[in-house]
Amino acid sequence: MKNEWGPIRGRVCGTRAGRIALFPREGGAIQSASKDTRIYLAGHRGLVGGAILRALEDGGYSNLLTRTHAELDLTEQQQVREFFAEERPELVILAAAKVGGILANWEKPYEFIQENLAIELNVIHEAWRSGVKRLLFLGSSCIYPREAPQPLKEEYLLTGPLEETNRPYALAKIAGIELCRSLNREYGTDYLALMPTNLYGPWDNFDLKTSHVLPAMIRKFHEAKLGLPGEAGEPREPHAPVTLWGTGTPRRELLYVDDLADAVVFLLENAHAADLPLGLINVGTGEDVTIRELAELVQHLVGHEGEIHWDESKPDGTPRKVMDVSALAQLGWSPKVELRKGVKRTYRWYLQHLEDK
Ligand code: NDP
């Protein structure tokens, strides 16, 4: 396989359980990663980072480096530079970002582009500067053009206008991909960008002001089922109607977050940037449902018996978003947790952690 920068110049050898040896790219030094490689996981307390941490620990990785946001603000270059100089990680997984749903992206466009650009520039640049040869960068499916043909192939990047509602965030993510690709081309690093589809699962954000669609639905149906006060504090009867944004017709793909984490560890062990066209790879299920179908599934699993109202004055976002996951499938990875089971697990987790909400 070739990518836009030329033929493959390295290869990966090894298995999930064993040692991985990364053979040299042209003129480069031999890199190796093993279960005791010093891995810095940025964003380990987030939905994605938390799942990756569990997957790495389960996979036997024993030399993991983490910092909370309070301990290390990744938007601050000096802090990041000092951290890399002191800790000297050998491999980096960048899962820290400012993340939110349509509402948060719409209301805070500047924060979404500024903070994400700063985090990416600081972490990717300081990683390279301190000699890190290998990095996995978490992007997002929203990098693809709004009207791109479906399913979304990696090669559709930058072929058309982006979705308006999250353009600042998407542009920051595209800049992150370009940082990785530029370093790979100019300095022979192995910085791979992963584009996950919409994710959900335990530790998701259930705050209605900032959450993604699935956790918002779980919370709304659960609170309406119990007749808890509505969003404006109004009193409600049990099984009160639930109002959801948009028309319900957009189609979305959802991946259980532990599957994403499994894919991250799989790619860490079985792929690298030069093997993949454009140095990026989609991670998803390749299957989608309408928002209406998703709402009915959540309603059923939560046990809400009231009506669903669709507020069509609110934006729908991209009409359809489903990933072409053939590159990942060819490498030998596929998801394991189907949607119904994943939503059930997520709702169970939500019930167990209600007091934190
Ligand atoms: P979360 O908001 O759950 O987690 C983000 C993490 O980043 C948190 O631990 C947060 O810490 C940390 N963080 C944010 N800003 C800073 C900062 N300035 N300094 C240090 N740490 C910071 O997001 P997700 O886990 O959902 O997303 C992680 C990655 O996965 C992102 O790159 C996102 O684009 C990608 N992704 C997510 C999808 C999803 O559906 N969730 C879909 C596709 C991609 P704190 O909470 O303390 O601020």
Each residue of 85-139: pLDDT tens digit?
A: 999 999 999 999 999 877 889 999 999 999 999 999 999 999 999 999 999 999 9
pLDDT at 212: 85
pLDDT at 333: 97
In one-letter notation, the amino acid at residue 263 is A
Run of H or E including 290: strand 289-290
User: First vs last Cα of the chain: how many Å apart?
Assistant: 47
Q: Kindly give the distance from the C-alpha atom of residue 46 to the centroid of ligand 1, in angstroms, as a whole number.
A: 5
Is residue 283 within 6 Å of ligand 1 at its C-beta? no
Is residue 97 within 6 Å of ligand 1 at its C-beta? yes
Average pLDDT (204-211) is 87
pLDDT digits (tens, 9 = 90+) for 10-67: 333 333 333 333 333 433 443 546 899 999 999 999 999 999 999 999 999 999 999 9
pLDDT at 321: 86
Q: Is residue 313 in a domain?
A: no
Is residue 69 within 6 Å of ligand 1 at its C-beta? yes
Which protein residue's CA is at the shortest distance from atom 4 of ligand 1? 46
- How far lies 34's CA from each of 9, 22, 31, 63, 296, in Å? 21, 10, 10, 10, 45
Which protein residue's CA is at the shortest distance from atom 47 of ligand 1? 69
Per the CB < 8 A criterion, the answer to whether 259 and 121 are in contact is: no
Average pLDDT (60-80) is 98
187 is catalytic: no
Look up the domain containing 125 and give its range.
2-200+253-286+320-336
If one counts the domains in the chain, the total is 1
Torsion sign, CA atoms 279, 258, 199, 133: negative
Q: Is residue 310 in a domain?
A: no
Which protein residue's CA is at the shortest distance from atom 42 of ligand 1? 198
- Does the pLDDT value for residue 231 go beyond 90? no
Per the CB < 8 A criterion, the answer to whether 301 and 251 are in contact is: no
- Does the pLDDT value for residue 153 go beyond 90? yes
Whether the bond between 168 and the residue before it is cis, its omega within 30 degrees of 0, is no
Q: Is residue 353 in a domain?
A: no
Q: Any idea what DSSP says for residue 152? A: B
Least Cα distance to 172 among 113, 125, 218, 131 occurs for 113
Q: Is residue 134 in a domain?
A: yes
Q: Is residue 267 in a domain?
A: yes
Least Cα distance to 197 among 298, 333, 72, 48 occurs for 48
**Across all residues in the chain, what is the average pLDDT?**
90
- How far lies 44's CA from each of 57, 66, 69, 168, in Å? 12, 7, 9, 24
Lowest mean pLDDT among 36-40, 69-73, 273-277: 273-277
User: Choosing from 40, 61, 144, 169, which is the catalytic residue?
Assistant: 169
pLDDT at 209: 82
Name the more confident of 315 and 274.
274
Q: Is residue 10 in a domain?
A: yes
Q: Token pair 């989608």 is at which residue? A: 288
Residue 60's CB is within 10 A of a number of other CB atoms, namely 12
| pLDDT band of 173, cuts 50, 70, 90 | very high
CA distance 116 to 178: 14
Q: Token pair 């390749």 is at which residue? A: 286
**CATH number of the structural domain spanning residue 330:** 3.40.50.720
**Residue 251's beta-bridge partner residues?**
290, 320
pLDDT at 165: 87
Q: Is residue 243 in a domain?
A: no
Strands 254-256, 198-200: pairing is: parallel
pLDDT at 277: 75
* Contacts within 8 Å (CB) and 24+ apart, 334-337: 335/255, 335/256, 335/259, 335/263, 335/284, 335/285, 336/259, 336/262, 337/256, 337/258, 337/259
Lowest mean pLDDT among 25-34, 59-68, 143-152, 233-242: 25-34
pLDDT at 352: 95
Q: Is residue 350 in a domain?
A: no
In terms of phi and psi (left: phi > 0; alpha: psi -120 to 50; beta: otherwise), the region of 114 is alpha
Q: Kindly give the distance from the C-alpha atom of residue 90 to the centroid of ligand 1, in angstroms, as a whole number.
A: 22
Q: Kindly give the distance from the C-alpha atom of residue 50 to the centroid of ligand 1, in angstroms, as a whole number.
A: 10
Per the CB < 8 A criterion, the answer to whether 276 and 3 are in contact is: yes
- Does the pLDDT value for residue 329 go beyond 90? yes
pLDDT at 4: 35
